[in-house]
Structure 1
Amino acid sequence: MGRRPQPHIKDRLLDACADYALAHGLPDRLEPLATATGTSARMLIYHFGTRDALLRAVLGHARQRQLNTFGDLLRVRPDEPYTATLDRAWTSITGSDGRPYLQMFGQLRESAAQQLWPDFRRTATTDWLGPLEDGLRSIGRPELATLVLAVIRGLLMDLDATADTTRTDRAFRDFLDFLAAVEHLPSGDSSAAHRSQAPDGSSTTSTDTASGT
């Protein structure tokens, strides 16, 4: 009888493979992963079945690490405003701790890597809506989760394309100023422009300067 796969060994190999992929990117061959784990390509196939199955497992494992890390960053803290929580989360996500995840999962936009996780783009969006809704509920605005996520994703794409940390950091903090300004407005009245009543009774539009523009 052949040996049965041992779960603790498989878990250890998966951890080491994820460490390598986060540091160096997802390889297209097994040899770099075999070297990083101190084993052989044959043993990796023994534990994971196929090359693609191993790479999918590495992606899933790294993704769970990212969800745990970023999810904790987005968690409500009683001792700070949620805009401060978002500011700290942005700093970590775009810094040395978060950058490996952004680089790894950025590979999934490429056609070859995308075959490993065809539904990743949708999953990568919907995964964050729940944590953001929970956080924004603390300021009474859970319906703004899609807007906040869109701003974060858009600025991350900008940062990836330009490497302009100063400009994207400033843009995100301008957005947080806007978010703080609409925190106490009724739902549905969170636009930068709001209506006010003119002395003659007609309706005029004034611009909220807290938008940062």
Structure 2
Amino acid sequence: MNTSAGDGSTGQAAYRRSAGSPRGEARRRELLDRITDDLAINGLVDFSLRRAARAAGTTHKVLLYHFDGADDLLRQAIVQLREQRIGNALAVTTREPGRQTLGAWVRTVWPVLMRAESGLRVLDQAIGLAMYDPGRYGWLGREASRQYLPTLVSICPADWPEQRKVEVAEMILATLRGFLVEWATSGDTSGIAAGLEALIRALDREEAAGA
């Protein structure tokens, strides 16, 4: 993946920023939406400022007016993809005390996470980059955790201590992330299905123990 401007420019304050004006912010959101859609379809391979400009129907200089270079643009696009994914997951289920267990929530959400339109491909590539070059791309994994964990903590029983909520949320995140990587690399759907059932049983036991 090439995150340079494509012409030797680094985007280091070479152009005036939109500085958060209402008009500038609206234009920035419009550009980001277009580039996020392109990433969801085409992935991170060969991502560059010039490719982003083509997807947005503008020039790399216009992008540098609104963003602090290719890495900043990539960061914001991936954050937006994750926000969409979290929203899609929450839209299909409601975690209400006495109505749905943690295990049932995971069972309902898992198919949503597997959908291509959820940005699965590019988000898997982002985690792969974080593993391959943590010095440069480790933030892709760290920011994923910061985005997902609050949602996972929120679905835990309200009467649990905060530390327990965090521990269970970390377990869910790490396990589902592992399943997604396994699916992307091996396609072992039967093994993943068996693992998912084991996770659900573990969550049921955890919740029963706290009842």
* Fold shared, TM-score > 0.5 on shorter chain: yes
* 1:122 partner amino acid: R
* Residue segments in structure 1 that go unaligned for 5+ positions in a row: 188-213
Larger fraction in helix: 2
* 1:13 partner amino acid: L
User: Out of 99, 106, 112, which is 1:86 matched to?
Assistant: 106
The number of aligned residues is: 185
Cross-structure match for 1:183: 207
Residue 36 of structure 1 pairs with residue 60 of structure 2: no
Render the CA deviation track for 1:88-108: whole Å, top value 9, x for unaligned: 111111232432453342343
User: Out of 171, 174, 199, which is 2:198 matched to?
Assistant: 174
Larger fraction in strand: 1
Instruction: Verify the 8 A CA contact 1:132 1:145 in the aligned structure 2.
Output: yes
Greater CA radius of gyration, 1 or 2?
1
SS at match of 2:185: helix
* 2:65 partner amino acid: Y
Deviation of 1:18 (Å): 0.7
User: Out of 68, 72, 81, which is 1:62 matched to?
Assistant: 81
Cross-structure match for 2:9: none
Instruction: Verify the 8 A CA contact 1:73 1:85 in the aligned structure 2.
Output: no
- TM-score using structure 1 length: 0.69
Cross-structure match for 2:126: 105
Cross-structure match for 1:10: 28
Instruction: Verify the 8 A CA contact 1:128 1:149 in the aligned structure 2.
Output: yes
* Residue segments in structure 2 that go unaligned for 5+ positions in a row: 1-14, 19-23
SS at match of 1:136: coil
Aligned 1:60-209 pairs, distance under 5 A: 60-70=79-89, 76-77=95-96, 79-98=99-118, 99-109=120-130, 111=132, 115=136, 117-137=137-157, 142=165, 143-186=167-210
- TM-score using structure 2 length: 0.69
Question: What is the root-mean-square deviation in Å for CA atoms of aligned residues?
Answer: 3.3
Deviation of 1:21 (Å): 0.8
Instruction: Verify the 8 A CA contact 2:34 2:55 in the aligned structure 1.
Output: yes
Q: Which has the higher contact order (CA 8 A, sep 6+)?
A: 2
Deviation of 1:55 (Å): 2.5
Identity, % of aligned positions: 23
